[in-house]
Chains A and B, each alone.
Chain A
Amino acid sequence: MKLLHQKLERDQSGRVSVIAEDKDDLWTLYNLIAKGDDITMKTYRNVKRGSGANESNSTRKLLTLTLRIEAVDFTPSEEVMRVKGRSIEQNEDVPQGSYHTDELGLGKKIILYKDEWDEVALDTISKACSIESKAEVGAVVLEEGVAHICLLTDSMTVIRSKIQKSIPKKRRGDSSQHDKAIDKFLQSTAESTIRNLNIEKFKAIVLVSPGTVARQLYDRIFEIATKEHNKSLIKCKNKFVVSHSSTGYLQGLEEALKSPELVKRLSDTKFQRNVLIFDEFTKYLNEDMGRAWYGEQEVVKASNIPGAIKVLLITDSLFKNDDIGRRKYFIQLTDKVKDGGAEVSVFSCLHDTGEQLNQLTGIAVILNYPIPNLDEDDE
């Protein structure tokens, strides 16, 4: 994200002017823009000329509007976000208070005004603007008959393409239909991988499958690359990592991200770290010794014991709360935990782990030492 201008007042209100540069930025903005904020941007609107009988005479006009936001909508698979609100400034074409909806795409400058910029919001902006923390990883998770080609960014997993084929079973004495189908499947997966992933831009491309299918895909991709003299692709050969999972469905990816080879390779990416933290959390949870807890009440209790919390896990959907009171409450909670010297890990609910954490109330802790019965009510 590009930060063009930032001006904060003493009462913590202020405006920030930014341009979204990639999908992650849109997600950041989605989490940042809350109901009641003001956004100023350039937008097209059909403006009606004249009055009365001539009303049908409308033209499309580029305007600068300031909207008070009522709803924000974001679909990760598309690169646009929709904002809806009422205009708050008088304009010669648009009366004050009229509704307007616009798409916020990449490369569009917006000015966001908030009555109150809190710690987390400012932190989110500064993180989104730093370049070095960005890493995109391509991944293909597959098994015989099904392949998912996806894109991993810091805050989301996006499926770019899914390939599914019924593979006839081999038969005693004749497996030609099977072999043929497998070959076709590999070919289309390889082609689709090359087409759908911007391989040159990625930090790594992970091919994950049970058995040897991933290895076969790897071979096939470079067979195609050699055949087509795709030099740039051949150059990226060392970016490819073939790894193992037990399934070709998306969850195989999380499994593979825990494997030592990928841990080493992707250790500095946020989603990788989150996968590992979440795994540690579930490990303690399974031991049932009181070192891992989830639920708001339990976490609050743990935060009251100094030095107890090792890691606080929280999903971004808790911060994205229309109820400002709740949002503030969680911000205070994380601040408190941070001050206590613990690590705070914010999970994006567009990743599998964040989604899982969300299902578990969205907030959890790993403790430094076991505290049993944290879930029992104090009398």
Chain B
Amino acid sequence: MSGYSQDDLIDYSEKDEGIFDEDHSANEEYDKLYELLPQLKKQVAGKYQHLDEKKMKELLWNNYFNVEDTVTEIKDTFKGRNASASDVPRVNGGLSGLLLKRHSKFQPSSGGGLAGLMARKHIKDEESTTGLSKLAMRIKKQRMEGPATVIERMKKVPVKLVPPKVLELPPKKSPEPASPPVRSFSPELPKLPEFSLTAPVHLTSFPSSLLTRVIFFDQLGQASPNLIHERHQLGTKLKTDLDFFRTFTNSHSDIARRVTANFSEPSPDEKQRKLDQMTSEMSKVNLSKKKAPAKPHTTKPKKKIDLQKELSEKSSKPNLSFIVIGHVDSGKSTMIGRLLYDLKIVDSKTMHRLTKESDSIGKSSFSLAWIMDQTPEERSRGVTVDICQTQFETKTSRFTVIDSPGHKDYVPKMINGVTQADIAVMIVDTASFEAGFSNNGQTKEHLTIAKNLGIKRCIIAVNKMDTVDWDVSEFIGVRDQLSAFLIENLKYEADNLIFVPTSGFLGDNVVKKSTNCSWYKGKPLMQLLEEESRGNNRVFDEKSRFIMTINDLQQGSRDDELILGGRINSGFVQPGETILIAPGQESATVDSICVSSSDVGSSILKKSLQNLAIEGEFVELKLKKIDNADNIKIGDLITKIDDPLESVRKLRCEITCFNLDRPLLVGTPFILFRGNVSIPSRFSKIEQIITASGKLNKKRKHLSSDNSGIAEIEILDGEIPIITFKESEKLGRIVIRKDGKTVGAGRVL
């Protein structure tokens, strides 16, 4: 039963926040509910009589017991709805309609929307391969527990299993399991048709397979145990048996006839066999066709555009990408959370929910960080694991924020993030500065990596100033130590470093200027970033070679669709053009280009289709008709089809070593980072070694601390497309790590 434990299901409903259950609300919530209910009633009295008490309660709950919000929502939702009698929410008792609305509202930001829920539910089903039999077992068990508990459970189970839209359906039928077992699908069987009448609109949006299962198991609940086994076998084939499903959904008057008709037809097994046969015949035909694949060639953009006009439009708003780096627990995710919250990109509802959730596991101080840290692992451990980027726009600029993990184990991910950023925002924890700044801390390592990957400017947020009472001497202490390291060891220019005292948790000097530190004369972080973005406005060279790095791969809505997210390193691309992905040499046509971003002050994540995407932009390319999606990996480079990149196994580099525990020998394996690829490699040849004192040593075969030299790196696992430092300042840089330490950096020659 582990696949479907009750706990899981409960988690589920909590996570997706959508379902209100009065009986299950906490005591205080319950009290509050009844305290506020009369107020609400008074406010809506007269106008919305069709609203019954239950609905009001639910609305209240959904609005976190804020009466005003609830009233607004009622007004919004029911405006004009009274007029049309056939309207969905009413037919459905209003409840599911409301939920639907609520969900659709939430979809962009919370992902807890119906589609998301369905998708997840679906996944769960798919993954526990024996999920089906589990369910059957479960129902069997319920039957044995006696009718009373069955009803109780039936009420519970479907509420959690089935998304809100069919919420009302299962309870209706819940008394039925008590009735004597019925052996076949006889016409007088259930009241199923009713459900199809009440919810036809929603049904269309259902993944059919899931619905089939839902219905099917309702049936099962009434079947005798030995039938369950039979039905279970059948159940696996149910996907193909859509006709059967339609019988119960699309008609109601003549199901009996349909059922009999259906059973007189060939059995599902037989149909499947025929289908298989047909498929194999079809595939033969396809195979012979595929023998002569059309050679991919350049294709013209879908639309003819005025390049200059589009370009000037693009450059009117500068685009700045910044990565937030720092030692673990210095408050990186919280800082970003605060930034997004204060810019009102994350609305108070979402924030409220996160606060509640984090409170419930005793980590209330993490609520802001949870905006970026969403995976269960990240939340339970309170540590960011992977980078997370998000985009937003102010009046003057477009920003891409990249949150990075500070934990030592996840430096590789942080490196990926750095390769996508223009500037770095370093967060330092004032209170425990030493821990991060020591040799094992990530403050130094992150800065070293950033510098070596070509980050020239750095804003250093001296964070958690509230914990030291905004003591100016603490700030100066941290600033001096850091700038000494940055300027002397990493050769940063003093002009390129900006220090700002902040408190990410309380929001001081993040968006608003803090009133707690009169001694700080500078600007808050957000203003500094806006200034940076203006300074970062580079001149776009339209003749430059189009290269894009893949940062993210998501499955499209269809199997052969793929959405590639990434940053354009140089050049531009338009929908309709054919691209080549190295090193897999997969080619595809760009179907559309999309930028998703939020406006300051609005929590809506808008996705806008682009006619053109240029250097520096973070875009999503939708590709259709991908033959072999496995050939495309995160970190691959995209070029145009007529401009292939050379992929190699060996590359010649200029290497500088840092402080090493063990020398780098010819043959020592390490991990090579280039762009956002990380790949196991080793030196195959060390051509030249210059020791720390500047002496040339020809005989040695190993690089020790602070040595530099020229070496040939051999990739141990496949090939990578190569771009020299001369060609691209970003992609021509490499970093090497071994045993969890950054041991060297260099440039591709």
Contact assessment for B737 and A180 in the assembled complex, using a CB-CB cutoff below 8 Å: no
Interfacial chain A residues near B376, Cβ < 8 Å? 179
- A114–B350 alpha-carbon span in the complex (Å): 79
- A288 within 8 Å of B by Cβ? yes
Contact assessment for B123 and A249 in the assembled complex, using a CB-CB cutoff below 8 Å: no
A-contact 0/1 string along B385-419, CB 8 Å cutoff: 11111100000000000000001111010000000
Chain A, range 359-375, C-beta contacts under 8 Å to B? 359-361, 375
B-contact 0/1 string along A163-186, CB 8 Å cutoff: 000111111111111111011100
- A101 within 8 Å of B by Cβ? no
Chain A, range 120-163, C-beta contacts under 8 Å to B? 144
Chain A, range 225-247, C-beta contacts under 8 Å to B? 226-227, 244-247
- A212 within 8 Å of B by Cβ? yes
What's the least CB distance linking B252 to chain A, in Å? Answer: 35
- A21 within 8 Å of B by Cβ? no
In the complex, identify which listed stretch (A54-62, A302-310, A350-358) lies at the interface while the others stay far away: A350-358
Contact assessment for A174 and B116 in the assembled complex, using a CB-CB cutoff below 8 Å: yes
Contact assessment for A177 and B666 in the assembled complex, using a CB-CB cutoff below 8 Å: no
Contact assessment for A172 and B412 in the assembled complex, using a CB-CB cutoff below 8 Å: no
Q: A211-B410, A246-B740, A255-B740 are contacts. A355–B116 as well, Cβ < 8 Å? A: no
Q: A212-B377, A247-B671 are contacts. A169–B386 as well, Cβ < 8 Å? A: yes
What's the least CB distance linking B4 to chain A, in Å? Answer: 12
Chain A, range 264-302, C-beta contacts under 8 Å to B? 279, 282-283, 285-286, 288, 294
The one of B127, B410, B680 in contact with A183, judged by C-beta atoms closer than 8 angstroms, is B127
- A285–B667 alpha-carbon span in the complex (Å): 15
Interfacial chain B residues near A172, Cβ < 8 Å? 109, 340, 371-372, 374, 388, 390, 605
Interfacial chain A residues near B2, Cβ < 8 Å? 223, 226-227
Interfacial chain A residues near B381, Cβ < 8 Å? 212
Interfacial chain B residues near A358, Cβ < 8 Å? 667
Interfacial chain A residues near B375, Cβ < 8 Å? 170, 175, 178-179, 182
The one of B661, B662, B680 in contact with A250, judged by C-beta atoms closer than 8 angstroms, is B680
Write the chain A residue with the least CB distance to B411: A246
- A40–B116 alpha-carbon span in the complex (Å): 68
- B724 within 8 Å of A by Cβ? no
- A247–B410 alpha-carbon span in the complex (Å): 9
Write the chain A residue with the least CB distance to B376: A179
Contact assessment for A180 and B123 in the assembled complex, using a CB-CB cutoff below 8 Å: yes
What's the least CB distance linking B283 to chain A, in Å? Answer: 26
Contacts between chains A and B (CB distance < 8 A), count: 150
Contact assessment for A211 and B407 in the assembled complex, using a CB-CB cutoff below 8 Å: yes
Chain B, range 54-113, C-beta contacts under 8 Å to A? 108-111
- A105 within 8 Å of B by Cβ? no
Chain B, range 98-143, C-beta contacts under 8 Å to A? 108-111, 116, 119-120, 123, 127, 130
Chain A, range 182-205, C-beta contacts under 8 Å to B? 182-184, 187
Q: A171-B390, A249-B671, A375-B699 are contacts. A282–B109 as well, Cβ < 8 Å? A: no
- A12 within 8 Å of B by Cβ? no
Q: A212-B377, A286-B661 are contacts. A168–B554 as well, Cβ < 8 Å? A: yes
Contact assessment for A282 and B388 in the assembled complex, using a CB-CB cutoff below 8 Å: no
Contact assessment for A168 and B701 in the assembled complex, using a CB-CB cutoff below 8 Å: no
- A77 within 8 Å of B by Cβ? no
Q: A210-B409, A249-B680 are contacts. A166–B663 as well, Cβ < 8 Å? A: no
- B633 within 8 Å of A by Cβ? yes
Write the chain A residue with the least CB distance to B374: A175
- A252–B387 alpha-carbon span in the complex (Å): 22
Chain B, range 347-395, C-beta contacts under 8 Å to A? 371-372, 374-377, 381, 385-390
- B739 within 8 Å of A by Cβ? yes
What's the least CB distance linking A39 to chain B, in Å? Answer: 33
- B702 within 8 Å of A by Cβ? yes
Interface size on A, residues (CB 8 A): 52
The one of B410, B552, B705, B717 in contact with A169, judged by C-beta atoms closer than 8 angstroms, is B552
Contact assessment for B390 and A251 in the assembled complex, using a CB-CB cutoff below 8 Å: no
Interfacial chain B residues near A282, Cβ < 8 Å? 662-663, 665, 668
A-contact 0/1 string along B711-741, CB 8 Å cutoff: 0000001000000000000000000011111
Interfacial chain B residues near A361, Cβ < 8 Å? 701
Q: A285-B702, A360-B701 are contacts. A176–B116 as well, Cβ < 8 Å? A: yes
Contact assessment for A173 and B555 in the assembled complex, using a CB-CB cutoff below 8 Å: no
- A223–B8 alpha-carbon span in the complex (Å): 15
Interfacial chain A residues near B120, Cβ < 8 Å? 176, 180
Contact assessment for A166 and B553 in the assembled complex, using a CB-CB cutoff below 8 Å: yes
Interfacial chain A residues near B437, Cβ < 8 Å? none
Contact assessment for B661 and A283 in the assembled complex, using a CB-CB cutoff below 8 Å: yes
Contact assessment for B390 and A286 in the assembled complex, using a CB-CB cutoff below 8 Å: no
Interfacial chain B residues near A360, Cβ < 8 Å? 665-667, 701-702
Write the chain B residue with the least CB distance to A294: B701
The one of B388, B667, B740 in contact with A171, judged by C-beta atoms closer than 8 angstroms, is B388
Contact assessment for A173 and B552 in the assembled complex, using a CB-CB cutoff below 8 Å: no
Interfacial chain B residues near A286, Cβ < 8 Å? 660-663, 704-705
Contact assessment for B717 and A249 in the assembled complex, using a CB-CB cutoff below 8 Å: yes
Q: A166-B632, A171-B388, A175-B111 are contacts. A356–B717 as well, Cβ < 8 Å? A: no
- B565 within 8 Å of A by Cβ? yes
A-contact 0/1 string along B329-357, CB 8 Å cutoff: 00000000000100000000000000000
- B670 within 8 Å of A by Cβ? yes
Contact assessment for A285 and B663 in the assembled complex, using a CB-CB cutoff below 8 Å: yes
Contact assessment for A187 and B127 in the assembled complex, using a CB-CB cutoff below 8 Å: yes
- A259–B119 alpha-carbon span in the complex (Å): 42
- B551 within 8 Å of A by Cβ? yes
Contact assessment for A168 and B553 in the assembled complex, using a CB-CB cutoff below 8 Å: yes
Chain B, range 631-689, C-beta contacts under 8 Å to A? 632-634, 660-663, 665-671, 678, 680, 682
The one of B127, B388, B662 in contact with A170, judged by C-beta atoms closer than 8 angstroms, is B388
What's the least CB distance linking B566 to chain A, in Å? Answer: 10
What's the least CB distance linking A191 to chain B, in Å? Answer: 10
What's the least CB distance linking A286 to chain B, in Å? Answer: 5
Contact assessment for A288 and B704 in the assembled complex, using a CB-CB cutoff below 8 Å: yes
Contact assessment for A173 and B110 in the assembled complex, using a CB-CB cutoff below 8 Å: yes
The one of B385, B388, B410, B739 in contact with A255, judged by C-beta atoms closer than 8 angstroms, is B739
- A184–B129 alpha-carbon span in the complex (Å): 11
Write the chain B residue with the least CB distance to A228: B130
Write the chain A residue with the least CB distance to B701: A360
- A211–B554 alpha-carbon span in the complex (Å): 24
Interfacial chain A residues near B661, Cβ < 8 Å? 283, 286
Contact assessment for B605 and A356 in the assembled complex, using a CB-CB cutoff below 8 Å: no
Contact assessment for A211 and B409 in the assembled complex, using a CB-CB cutoff below 8 Å: yes
Write the chain B residue with the least CB distance to A212: B377
- A247–B552 alpha-carbon span in the complex (Å): 20
Interfacial chain A residues near B555, Cβ < 8 Å? 168, 177
- A251–B662 alpha-carbon span in the complex (Å): 15
What's the least CB distance linking A330 to chain B, in Å? Answer: 20
Interfacial chain B residues near A175, Cβ < 8 Å? 111, 374-375
Interfacial chain A residues near B407, Cβ < 8 Å? 211
Interfacial chain B residues near A168, Cβ < 8 Å? 552-555
What's the least CB distance linking A305 to chain B, in Å? Answer: 21
- A187–B668 alpha-carbon span in the complex (Å): 32
Chain A, range 30-64, C-beta contacts under 8 Å to B? none
- A40–B3 alpha-carbon span in the complex (Å): 58
Residues of A within 8 A of B (CB): 144, 166-180, 182-184, 187, 210-212, 216, 223, 226-227, 244-247, 249-251, 254-255, 279, 282-283, 285-286, 288, 294, 352, 355-361, 375
24 A-B pairs with C-beta separation under 8 A: A144-B386, A168-B553, A168-B555, A169-B552, A170-B374, A171-B388, A172-B388, A173-B109, A175-B111, A175-B374, A175-B375, A183-B127, A210-B410, A227-B2, A227-B130, A246-B739, A247-B671, A249-B717, A282-B668, A285-B665, A286-B705, A357-B667, A358-B667, A359-B701
Which 6 A/B pairs are nearest by Cβ-Cβ distance? A359-B667, A246-B740, A174-B111, A210-B409, A251-B669, A249-B680
13 additional A-B pairs beyond A168-B552, A177-B555, A180-B120, beta carbons within 8 Å, are: A144-B386, A169-B634, A173-B110, A176-B111, A183-B127, A210-B410, A226-B2, A227-B3, A246-B739, A251-B670, A294-B701, A360-B667, A375-B699
